[in-house]
Structure 1
Amino acid sequence: MMAEPKNRNRRARFATALLALAAVLLWGASRLTWLTVEIFDDKSGAATHSLVGATWSTEQSAIALLLVASVVAALALRRVGRRLIGLVSTIGAVIASWAPMQLLAQGGDPARAKTILTSGAASQRSSAPVTVAQWAEITNMKVSVLGPTLALVACAGALFAAIVLLVRPGADSPRKNRYETKRTREEKISADLAAEPNSQRVLWDAIDADIDPTEK
């Protein structure tokens, strides 16, 4: 009987650790180059620009941070909370997987790439943005496989971990259960003291629970 709760907790801990690893991997993948764009401007000539994952798919960084927050919450919350974390992380992993999957399957969208380049977002530095002229033409686009692939691997790991947390959130520790039982009993006795301050039964219950009935 004791082995089953331990196994459940072991699975929950494994899922939490995997979720943390997936968050780190997704963050790293978002910093890699996902797309290389070659442009030609009749005034400045040809140029090549790299678009990292966080620029091409802005949700990558946000979901990586969401997964980190989910790990912290999963360590602090009880079973119901961990189930909720599993659900939220599942949705986040699915959303994050869409952009790299589409990029690997269909290639980059030239119109989107030009919008990013002309806005200066490709440099990821608001103080020194690298902008491309509106009249510049995209002559070639090449997908860098490593970044999107790592992002998909991270999303797959996060999805697996999130489903484990959702289905097998583990058991609450006996210490936490005992504490909540004691707290619930104290709250009940306090309510009884307020309702029946002269009841002998309530007074003895308060004394048994180490509650001074004269302070109520």
Structure 2
Amino acid sequence: MSNPAQRNPGRKQLLVGAGLLVIAAGGLWAASKFTWVRLRSFDGLGEPRTIVVSGTDWSAALVPMAVALVAAAIATLAIRGWALRVLAGLAAVIGAGAAYLGVSLWAVRDIGPRAADVKNIPISTLVGADRLSGGAAATVIAAALAVLAAITLLRAARGSAATKYQTPAARRSDGTDAADKNQSERVMWDSLDDGHDPTIGPTQPQSGPT
């Protein structure tokens, strides 16, 4: 009996791809809870304040991206062919977008004004801003996992297509081997029942006297 993994080599890749999507989604969700920027504000009247800017504050797209990746992971269990390729492309786009969001924290030279804007703090009261890289790093790692998942799903889609479009002889090869073996055994037993030894070739007729 053939191994199920050998009959459907793309199934393992589908499971790996779905798992990577779930892990990437978890990474984006965790990144949305991290503190990305810490602001220090003082308006000259009260006490200085410290305001934290979370990943959700820095980019509201992190949580929807995480939800989309979970939905994509679930969908991989039900779709094949071109639909799986489209899903893989979507996962790659989400990964690229998440990578951009993560890198944006390091790319912005002066994060104070941007962070103050998302928290509705007057820039005139801003006295300092600290960049915390934990959330951005988690986002970039999750983005890389999403892209890796997309590549894995594309390979699974190609493997499924190759199996689907095999020649008729190739598709029947597994069953044909077993059928040929059973047929050979039956012929052998029929020969024995008729009093013939199937291991001996046909007897050559003796030539008559010259």
TM-score normalised by L of structure 2: 0.68
Cα contact 1:83–1:166 (8 A) shared by 2: yes
How many residue pairs align between the two structures?
159
Cα distance in 1 for partners of 2:119, 2:81 equals 46
Displacement after TM superposition at 1:5 (Å): 4.8
Cα distance in 2 for partners of 1:57, 1:113 equals 10
Indicate the residue corresponding to 1:28 in structure 2: 30
Q: What is the aligned counterpart of 2:115 among 96, 99, 113?
A: 113
Which residue identity is paired with 1:31?
Answer: K
Check if 1:146 corresponds to 2:108: no
Check if 1:155 corresponds to 2:155: no
Identity across matched positions, percent: 26
CA change 1:116–1:106 in 2 (3 A) is closer
Displacement after TM superposition at 1:4 (Å): 5.2
Indicate the residue corresponding to 1:44 in structure 2: 46
Q: Which structure 1 segments of 5+ residues have no match?
A: 119-131, 175-216
Q: What is the aligned counterpart of 1:74 among 64, 73, 76?
A: 76
Q: What is the aligned counterpart of 2:100 among 98, 101, 106?
A: 98
Indicate the residue corresponding to 1:9 in structure 2: 11
Q: List structure 1 segments (4+ residues) > 4 angstroms apart after TM superposition.
A: 1-5
Indicate the residue corresponding to 1:166 in structure 2: 154
Cα contact 2:32–2:135 (8 A) shared by 1: yes
Displacement after TM superposition at 1:44 (Å): 2.4
Cα contact 1:37–1:50 (8 A) shared by 2: yes
Indicate the residue corresponding to 2:184 in structure 1: none
Q: Which structure 2 segments of 5+ residues have no match?
A: 164-210
Structure 1 SS opposite 2:8: helix
TM-score normalised by L of structure 1: 0.66
Indicate the residue corresponding to 1:54 in structure 2: 56
Displacement after TM superposition at 1:137 (Å): 2.3
Structure 2 SS opposite 1:41: coil
Indicate the residue corresponding to 2:189 in structure 1: none
Deviations 1:61-94 (A, max 9, x none): 1111110111111112122221111001110110
Cα distance in 1 for partners of 2:72, 2:91 equals 7
Structure 1 SS opposite 2:160: coil
Cα distance in 2 for partners of 1:114, 1:12 equals 43
Larger Rg over CA atoms: 2
Q: How large is the Cα RMSD of the aligned pairs? A: 2.3
Cα contact 2:101–2:139 (8 A) shared by 1: no
Displacement after TM superposition at 1:47 (Å): 0.9
Displacement after TM superposition at 1:107 (Å): 4.9
Displacement after TM superposition at 1:167 (Å): 3.6
